[in-house]
Amino acid sequence: MPLTRRQIYRRRRIVFFGGLTAVLAGIAYLPLTLFAPVEAIVPEVQAPQVATADAADIGLPSYGASAIAAVGFDGLLARTGSEKPLPMASITKIITALTVLSAKPIDDGSDGPKVTMTSEDAAIYRQYDARGASVAPVAAGEVYTERELLEIMLIDSAGNYAVSVSNWAFGSQDAFVKAAAAWLEENGLSSITVVEPTGLDPANTATADDLVALGELAHADPVISKIVATAKIDIHDVGEVVNSNKLLGMAGVDGIKTGTLNAFGANLLFSADLEVGSETVELVGVVLGAVDHDTLDSDVIDLLADAQAGFHEIPLVAAGDPVADYETVWGEEAQAVAADDAWIVVWGDTPVTVDAEVDDIRLTEAGTSVGTLEFTAGNRTVTVDLELSEAVEDPGPWWRLGHPEIIFGLG
């Protein structure tokens, strides 16, 4: 039976609208497929492993008390002997200097104010000379800068200058003792007691641990660290002033202060720079109660050699080392690689932990930052940037058109 006009019209409409639907679907499919973002590419991370170095062992003296630390490293490297406060002797003068500088700071490039010595200062000189203390001459009317007063006190260990400079800064010995106590409390040095500025009184005491902390403060002070590293200096009216620390310049020693009390023994608060690979490690230590300074100096040289052997520079990663792999569904591969060489100095067998933070990527250019590696040993951290080794490029139209289920996350 021939189709009616109505049936023919209906079929034509079906064909037309079906074709139109197909055309519209194709128009929509092409841009959606060709321009849709690819799924994020998740890295497969393989962080580097760092070997643990050998344990360290410092041979500290058996007498008195000793302790040693490295600036920027956790706690003490080693300690031994009495944990009770012991006589500081002339190490006290470091506290005197720091307390004076807290009240009368010396600006960069300056030597501080000028101080005119008085008949009282001359009398102090005669008094301490009669007591057999370390002294340097002084006469009324002589004028010194604050820096020169500190140089004579710390380099020559002149006790009379410790009294004179503390009188100048605070007006009296009672006021100085109160100021020193306040400074010690402010800096958390609770074991240290100061009853006078020279160290002649055995009641000036401290633990080895707190003396190491004191040494770190002195080492960090630009005025004091420069003075205590000076082997000798000429000062007007006084002459050549020679440092009482005979270890200066040996085994990296660059400070800090000797001390001697006949009834107790020889002391040394010291600092030293050790070259460990490409890095300089700053040590601060103290030895208290040696029979004499020759014995003490020999023991310090030995313990510094042990400390040198106990530090290790460990390679962490080399530039270009792979840390993570990227693989796309269309077959491209790239890696997250270290952007630079890196190493770390560790003490003994301190373990090194590794934390890799690697980003997901999409289409990315070569050299783009894609994360970081963080190495931690104790309280020291080294961070290395990660970058993409190869560009991850678009798979192209033919692949996109042939894999809609991947493009749209349906497969």
> To the nearest whole percent, how much of the chain has pLDDT over 90?
85
Q: What is the pLDDT of residue 402?
A: 63
pLDDT at 13: 56
> For 102-117, what is each residue's pLDDT tens digit?
999 999 889 999 999 9
The answer on 229 and 82 residing in a single domain is yes
248 pLDDT higher than 80: yes
Residue 264: give its domain's CATH number: 3.40.710.10
Cα 387 versus chain centre, distance: 27
Say whether both 89 and 225 belong to one domain: yes
In the β-sheet with 65-70, what is the strand arrangement from edge to edge?
A: 78-81, 65-70, 279-290, 265-276, 253-261
Q: Is residue 299 part of a domain?
A: no
Instruction: Tell me: do 26 and 48 sit in the same domain.
Output: no
Asked if residue 48 and residue 17 are part of one domain, the reply reads no
Question: In this structure, what DSSP letter does residue 144 have?
Answer: E
Answer yes or no: is 311 within a domain: no
Please enumerate in sequence order all residues whose Cβ is within 8 A of that of 217, keeping only pairs 6 or more positions apart, or say none: 98, 187
The answer to whether position 57 is within a domain reads: no
The answer on 339 and 250 residing in a single domain is: no
Average pLDDT of the chain to the nearest whole number: 92
Q: Are residues 232 and 375 in the same domain?
A: no
Q: Is the pLDDT of residue 34 over 60?
A: no
User: What 3-state class would DSSP assign to 356?
Assistant: strand
Q: Is 394 within the bounds of a domain? A: yes
pLDDT of residue 403: 59
What's the pLDDT at 28?
46
179 assigned to some structural domain: yes
CATH of the domain at 324: 2.60.410
**Do 187 and 333 share a domain, yes or no?**
no
- The verdict on residue 301 lying in a domain is no
Query: Is pLDDT at 16 greater than 50 in this prediction?
Result: no
Ordered DSSP codes for 215-261: HHHHHH-HHHHHHHT-SEEEETTTEEEE-S-TTTTSTTEEEEEEEEE
60 occurs within a structural domain = no
pLDDT digits (tens, 9 = 90+) for 251-291: 999 999 999 999 999 999 999 999 999 999 999 999 999 99
Residues spanned by the domain of 379:
44-52+316-407
Crossing angle for the helix pair 146-155 and 92-103, to the nearest 10 degrees: 170
31 and 48 within one domain: no
Number of domains in the chain: 3
Q: 167 and 241, same structural domain? A: yes
Rounded average pLDDT over 58-72:
97
Do 130 and 196 have their domain in common?
A: yes
Containing 305, the helix (H) or strand (E) segment is helix 293-310
**Residues 275, 178 share a domain:** yes
215 and 324, same structural domain?
no
Q: For residue 300, is it within any domain?
A: no
Q: What is the per-residue pLDDT across 208-234, written as a single tens digit (0 to 9) for each?
A: 999 999 999 999 999 999 999 999 999
Bigger pLDDT: 329 vs 254 = 254
